């Protein structure tokens, strides 16, 4: 599942392992905040047809409402109770509900495409796993009130289906990634690490001077309140007493980067590439801040090993995405828009979770 539109958005994978899916559903108790009394959906109607497989509106509705229930916990805190009616920042002209439903429909399609291809990757769900799925689904149904079950459109069958597909997707992703041709060299993964001190640019628009200020320290400990003269003085002091300046200003951090880094200010990376271990830069002007950096390691073994794992996983993820795209391109998919539009997020959910459970 993906959360769309949360500020500083991150893709959140709730079900990375087979046990997580069961535990999450078994421990999720939905409490209805409001019930609008809207007419019931025709659960037997078709939400989407994927090749020769018809996906029921009942299951599609439950999958949507279950994801909505998880999102409500976070979205309402950010955007208020009318969150689903608000315009999305992700896609102009669409509401948050529209975007979320698009994501859910794509997920549904992926599930059925992966299910149809599972024999090609020797993937199956064992009898033992199916028993666990059934038990977790029953626990979910027993834990929730009739009102919450009704609002979510849940049935034992639908809950089992959702758990089945999450476990299947987990297994299929692993099986597909095993076939990926991965090539990450030690050179590609090599990381250099530096410590850096950040100074906010003065609001008066003054710029850094090439000459050092007369004093070796500044009176203010807040980098946001420093004048350009004070910044210059700190930069000069950092040449011989970097850690003291970092502690005084309170903006010292470390950063590791490889040769393809695009996150840190380009001017900072260019300067870091010129330094040897232990050397301290002069004052560097970035897009929004000034920096002084000290190169701590020309080759950070621990960071490089971690980066190599990350780069390998990225290649595997890209391969998995490519396989899904090919499955999608070769399939005939038709969404029944007249039925799918009947699925709405009019009512909000409240989640209570018993950690012991």
171-204: pLDDT as tens digits: 999 999 999 999 999 999 999 999 999 999 997 6
Number of helices and strands in the chain (H, E): 11, 9
Q: Which residues pair with 158 in a beta bridge?
A: none
Cα(156)–Cα(160) distance, rounded to whole angstroms? 6
Cα 341 to chain center, whole Å? 27
Q: Tell me how far apart the alpha carbons of residues 90 and 99 are, in angstroms, rounded to a whole number.
A: 8
pLDDT digits (tens, 9 = 90+) for 144-174: 989 999 999 999 999 999 999 999 999 999 9
pLDDT band at residue 263 using 50, 70 and 90 as cut-offs: very high
Contact 249, 197 (CB under 8 A): yes
As given in the structure block, the two tokens for residue 275 are 């330094």
Quick one: what percent of the chain has pLDDT higher than 70? 82
Helix or strand or coil: residue 185? coil
87 phi/psi in degrees, rounded to 5: -70, 140
> How many C-beta atoms lie closer than 10 Å to residue 222's C-beta?
10
Task: Report yes or no: 61 and 157 within 8 Å, Cβ to Cβ.
Answer: no
Q: Give the mean pLDDT of the chain.
A: 86
């Amino acid at each position: 599942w993906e959360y769309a539109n949360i500020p500083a958005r991150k893709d959140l994978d709730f079900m990375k392992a087979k046990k997580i899916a069961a535990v999450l559903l078994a421990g999720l108790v939905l409490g209805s905040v409001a019930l609008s009394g809207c007419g019931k959906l025709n659960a037997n109607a078709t939400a989407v047809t994927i090749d020769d497989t018809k996906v029921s509106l009942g299951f599609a509705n439950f999958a949507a409402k279950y994801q909505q229930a998880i999102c409500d916990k976070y979205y309402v805190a950010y955007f208020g109770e009318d969150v689903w009616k608000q315009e999305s920042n992700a896609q102009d002209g669409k509401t948050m509900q529209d975007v979320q439903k698009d994501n859910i429909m794509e997920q549904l399609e992926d599930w059925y495409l992966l299910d149809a291809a599972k024999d090609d990757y020797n993937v199956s769900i064992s009898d033992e796993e199916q028993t666990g799925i059934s038990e977790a689904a029953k626990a979910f149904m027993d834990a929730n009130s009739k009102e919450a079950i009704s609002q979510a459109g849940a049935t034992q069958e639908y809950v089992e289906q959702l758990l089945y597909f999450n476990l299947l997707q987990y297994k299929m992703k692993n099986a597909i990634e095993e076939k990926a041709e991965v090539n990450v060299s030690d050179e590609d993964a090599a990381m250099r690490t530096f410590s850096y001190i950040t100074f906010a640019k003065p609001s008066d628009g003054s710029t850094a001077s090439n000459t050092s200020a007369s004093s070796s320290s500044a009176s203010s400990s807040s980098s946001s309140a420093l004048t350009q003269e004070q910044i210059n003085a700190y930069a000069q002091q950092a040449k011989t007493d970097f850690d003291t300046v970092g502690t005084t200003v309170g903006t010292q951090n470390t950063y590791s980067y490889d040769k393809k880094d695009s996150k840190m200010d380009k001017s900072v990376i260019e300067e870091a590439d010129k330094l040897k271990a232990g050397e301290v830069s002069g004052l560097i002007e970035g897009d929004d801040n000034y920096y002084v950096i000290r190169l701590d390691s020309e080759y950070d073994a621990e960071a490089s090993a971690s980066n190599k794992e990350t780069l390998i996983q990225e290649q595997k993820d890209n391969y998995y995405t490519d396989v899904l795209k090919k499955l999608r391109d070769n399939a005939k998919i038709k969404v029944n828009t007249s039925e799918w539009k009947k699925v709405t997020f009019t009512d909000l959910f409240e989640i209570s979770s018993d950690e012991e459970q």
